Amino acid sequence: MTSEKHVLDKFEKMGARCRVHQTGSNRRLSFQRNNMASNGARLNVLSDKDGEYFDIAINGETPPEVNVLDVQPSDRHLLLMVRNAQGDKSKFLCGHDERHWFVAAIPEAAPVGTVRQAKEALKPPEVQVRQVGLNKKKRNKRKNEAYVRQGEWFFIPVEIGNVDSAYVLKNEPLSRGRGSKPHMCENVYRRGGEQVYVCSRYPNGVDAKTYNRLLREDKAAKGFGWRVMVKDASVFVRGRVTHADHATITLVGWHRVVMNTENKAEAMRQVAFLD
């Protein structure tokens, strides 16, 4: 069972508005920036005349338990748990990052019960290794000796030797697919990865074989606005990185790009690393 008052009180304590309501279906919706469905609940950040608010839609046919495990008012973050009738659990970090409220899915394999643990669970192994030796306060900063963070992306300073300028791309998008707004990078250099064809109908990209088959079978496919990108490459960036929802950062020297661990959560299984 869900205690709506409990949930609303905790969001209010964090400084956010929240709406909890029931729906007649538990169908999985396509992913947007803060729109994800898991274990009988759909979470999103919506806006009205009063600004942004959290929207929690619960499957009315088999309502899950929705509970706030931890709230940190001064940090404007809380940890939300959704548990269905079978006992399957999903956890989400809800909070405020720079300019907007957000929802981030926590990998099910991560044993988290607090906001601090959820933040650490969202850091990929490359970041975990680099931050060894930093105190707790520095580990949660968007910029420290180990990395620079902008939204879901971590930028780790690296030495990659001399790079041929002919292979450095200008003003390239960095995206996790599924319709998310890309981060634009001033200079990009990549190694490896798989070339894919991306459009609004196939936001995670398709390989060359699938792309050619689509063109043969559907005459309209040529007009889908395809873009050639690279999936799951080792990507390095330097210079300015811009995004509408975040303050611009400037990276001095090459930094390796790694995505947070949301793609390991069930609610985010179809997310891809594209650039």
Are residue 84 and residue 174 in the same domain, yes or no? no
Classify residue 32: in a domain, yes or no.
Answer: yes
Tell me the whole-structure pTM to 2 decimals: 0.78
Flag the least confident range among 55-69, 111-125, 244-258. 55-69
Q: What is the pLDDT of residue 31?
A: 32
Residue 115 included in any domain: yes
- Maximum CA extent, the chain: 60
Q: Please report which confidence band the pLDDT of residue 268 belongs to, taking 50, 70 and 90 as the band edges.
A: low
Q: What percent of the chain has pLDDT over 90?
A: 54
Q: How many structural domains comprise the chain?
A: 2
Residues 262 and 154 both lie in one domain: yes
User: Is residue 128 in a domain?
Assistant: no
> Does residue 72 form part of some domain?
yes
Closest CA to 121 of 98, 104, 135, 134: 104
7-59 residue pLDDT tens: 999 999 999 999 999 876 444 333 334 555 566 888 999 999 999 999 999 88
- 138 belongs to a structural domain: no
Q: Are residues 71 and 157 in the same domain?
A: no
Is 46 inside any structural domain? Answer: yes
Distant-in-sequence, close-in-space partners of 189: CB < 8 Å, separation ≥ 6: 160, 163, 167, 168, 169, 235, 236, 237, 254
Instruction: Looking at the structure, tell me whether residues 50 and 154 fall in a common domain.
Output: no
Question: What is the per-residue pLDDT across 134-193, written as a single tens digit (0 to 9) for each?
Answer: 988 888 889 999 999 999 999 999 998 888 888 899 999 888 766 578 899 999 998 877
Asked whether residue 35 is domain-assigned, the answer is: yes
Is 84 found in the same domain as 184? Answer: no
Same domain, yes or no, for 11 and 112?
yes
Average pLDDT, stretch 248-252? 96
Higher pLDDT: 269 or 63? It is: 63
pLDDT given for residue 271 in this prediction? 44
> What pLDDT is recorded for position 177?
63
Say yes or no: 156 and 247 in one domain: yes
The residues facing 240 across adjacent strands are: 250
Q: Within this chain, do residues 175 and 82 fall inside the same structural domain, yes or no?
A: no
Q: Return the pLDDT at 27.
A: 41
The helix/strand count (H/E) of the chain reads as 5, 17
Q: Which residue has the higher pLDDT, 95 or 200?
A: 95
Q: What does the pLDDT average to over 62-68?
A: 90
- In degrees to the nearest 10, what's the CA dihedral of 138, 142, 144, 146? 100
Looking at the structure, do residues 107 and 182 belong to the same domain, yes or no? no
Of 26, 57, 89, 38, the residue nearest 269 (C-alpha): 38
Same domain, 113 and 154: no
pLDDT tens per residue across span 78-98? 999 999 888 889 999 999 988
d(CA 176, CA 259): 8
State whether 8 and 45 are in the same domain: yes
Q: Which domain holds residue 30?
A: 4-122
Domain limit, last residue, from 122, 139, 160: 122
